[in-house]
Structure 1
Amino acid sequence: MSFLCQLPVATLCRRSAHHPPPPGAECRSSRAAQRRILRHRRQKRHRGHRSHTGGSQGRRFHRCEPGGPAFQPALLRAPPPVCRRIERTRRTATARAPAADLQHLIAGPTTPRPVAFPYLSAGFRSGRTKKRCEPTASWHLFIALSYEIVREILSDLVAEEQALDQLLQKIAIRDWKRRTPTNNWSIQDIVAFLASSEEFALRVLQEGRAPLVETETYASLEDFATSGIDRGRSMRPQDVIEWWRGARAGVVDALSRMTRSQRIPWFVDDISAQTFATARLAEAWAYGLDVQSVAETQLEDTPRLRHIAWLAWRTLPYAFKRAGHAYVPVRVEVIGPGYAKWVYGPEDSGQRIKGSAGEWCRVAVRRLSASETSLSAEGEAAELALLIASTAV
């Protein structure tokens, strides 16, 4: 008894943890001191369990070794209460995080936060009192997926424009005056048109409908496109390509802050951000085909064609309306690169278009006619769709 009282408190508590004293033995340290010592050991063992560097802090006990989990009291084997509280707080914060913070987690700390989102009755909950409504987890998931879809299209848009940029760098400056067989434009005219088009799109994203009103001063959209080409002809080829690079980077940056369903004013009608980004991709790919024909090179089709194939099917109602025909749902079944099957339209439709995705996209951007391809059409509406299909929005 006297021997136990002469031992240090730490030694006494360590021995009592592994070899409890016989009944009736008394310990001079208070229960508070024992709890502090046990808490210190628990935190030390928790840090050592997570460490892989070795040493006294990083050693892991075998479960049957003295000091291992099988020999520890139940209080020491339980996870620290602080960790449980942190995990519970993290889950709650993730489930109820504002949409801006959720976007911040998805895209990284450098992405600007959106301005605001509409409060929809189906996606929000509120109590009996008139307090600010809180977004539900399903609404947060919808916003996150919208941003993810737009970023997927933007990544393919950047890749397509970069592929065209690399092709242009391989062409000698003296060949920039060569004409394309499609519209009798030179390579410099094509790049100038793309630059002016991207610059105009950036103005629409920043200013709204005001730039569209300015185009009404032109007799037609062809005259408006010619104005950008004339501007590019007075510049050096190096300046024209830098003009295009700066404009397209601004468009991608502006679209990265939008969800796929946000509306953007455009020539015919307001379109979604998803359609807007896909139209930019289709335009870059179509004029890239013209540059390839002048450079006498042929690039392989990529899985990025799935966006253009979708846009060609999505704009069929507008193409039928412009041609003066009533739209009948058409189903498009095409095979893309790597034997990927892309299907658009209702499954029970009797009007079907089948064939290669590359040929379907080239028909939609008016680089091939339907008679020059192996595409097959089932039904009168499908045959008419092959004649009037267009990605123009």
Structure 2
Amino acid sequence: MAVSMHDLLDDLAAETAVVQVLVADLDDAGVALPTPATGWDVRDQLSHLAYFDEAATLAAVDPETFRREAAALVEQGADFPDRVAAEHAHLGAAELRAWLDRARSRFITTFRALDPKARLPWYGPDMSAASSATARLMETWAHGQDIADAVGAVREPTDRLRHVAHLGVQTAGFAFALNNRPAPEAPVHVALEAPSGARWEWGDPDATDRVTGSALDFCLVVTQRRHVTDTALAVTGPAATAWISIAQAFAGAPGPGRAPGAVAAGSSR
């Protein structure tokens, strides 16, 4: 999917603004509201975004320091997102908002000066600067969904979901590898209806294995914010069914996903 770094970062800024509106009026009790991610409250969702924004910026400006710090964090266990959340559980609402605003602003400013193809280190394989920015947008949207669920808000879907959907498709092989399963050889065609009414497609249009439906439903599933049975996605064929059951657009350990019919009981990160 061809996209300019300028446009991508503009979309990231717009997605950030949605989260900022969701949390603008929350006090310390408000950021303590539990979210659908088991054990995580709104505070944890915000500190997660801010911390990994700063990590991504460090990866861009000082990759060797990032590599050392990332290795030290990962060596302590794959639960490092939970440890990061616990380390910042003392922060109040105003501090969290200020931290996220500061971290996101610096990330966007730094990445505007980068070549989209520049290779940057991360906690798994290196990625391009454009992929890093796309990952930040995906995380912002996904953790924003957890926050919206916690405060009882409904967000209006936009065509910025194309970034999330594209990442969801591109990480299919990654999801199988994470779960120590061979990726099926059969191609899967993905056809989604965008919020604007456009049709987005990936893969061989003649494939018998298919995933079709709304972009919103697809993005909720590949970010593990909803179980596929709680959406209207149509999944056809064994390869598509196997993939969608473990689809994971985010990095880290395999996510357990959300239980069918019980969003509040989920534990995705």
Give the TM-score normalised by structure 1.
0.59
Deviations 1:222-270 (A, max 9, x none): 2x32343234222332112111111111111121112322211122211
Match of residue 176 from structure 2: 320
What corresponds to 1:378 in structure 2? 236
Secondary structure in structure 1 of the residue aligned to 2:250? coil
Residue of structure 2 in register with 1:220 after alignment: 77
Query: Match of 1:109?
Result: none
CA contact (8 A) 1:195 1:243 kept: yes
Whether contact under 8 Å (1:203, 1:211) holds in the other structure is yes
CA contact (8 A) 1:171 1:295 kept: no
Aligned to 1:368, which of 223, 226, 250? 226
- 1:193 matched to 2:43? The reply is no
| SS of equivalent to 1:233 | coil
In structure 2, the CA distance between the partners of 1:174 and 1:315, relative to structure 1 (3 Å rule), is: same
Residue identity matched to 1:343? E
User: Does the residue aligned with 1:338 lie in a helix, a strand or coil?
Assistant: coil
CA distance in 2, matches of 1:391, 1:161: 18
- How far 1:327 moved relative to its partner? 4.0
| One-letter amino acid of the counterpart of residue 369, structure 1 | H
Q: Distance in 2 between matches of 1:349 and 1:375?
A: 17
CA distance in 1, matches of 2:97, 2:150: 17
1:282 paired with 2:143, answer: no
Structure 1 counterpart of 2:183, one-letter code: A
- Cα deviation, 1:295-344, whole Å, max 9, x if unaligned, reads 11111111110110010001111112223113433221011112121111
**2:33 aligned residue (133, 153, 178):** 178
Question: How high is the TM-score relative to the length of structure 2?
Answer: 0.85
Residue in 1 that maps onto 2:267: none
Consecutive unaligned residues in structure 2, runs of 5 or more: 252-269
Residue number in structure 1 paired with 2:256:
none
Give 2:20's aligned residue.
Answer: 165
2:158 is paired with a residue whose SS is: coil
Per the TM alignment, residue 181 of structure 1 is displaced from its structure 2 partner at its CA by 2.4
Deviation sequence 1:351-387 (CA, Å, 0-9, x none): 2111111110000111111122221122211111111
- Does the residue aligned with 1:339 lie in a helix, a strand or coil? coil
Match of 2:255 in 1: none
Quote the Cα distance in structure 2 between the aligned partners of 1:298 and 1:169. 15
2:115 paired residue number = 259
Q: Which runs of 5+ in 1 are unaligned?
A: 1-145
Matched letter for residue 157 of structure 2? D
Distance 2:116 2:208 in 1: 30
Query: Share of identical aligned residues, percent?
Result: 28
Conserved in 2, the CA contact under 8 Å of 1:264 and 1:273? yes
Alignment of 1:43-54 (within 5 A): none
Figure out how many residues of one structure are paired with residues of the other and give that number.
246
Equivalent residues of 1:192, 1:231 under 8 A apart: no
Structure 2 residue corresponding to 1:358, chosen from 212, 216, 219: 216
For 1:173 and 1:340, locate their aligned partners in 2 and report how far apart those are by CA, in whole Å.
41
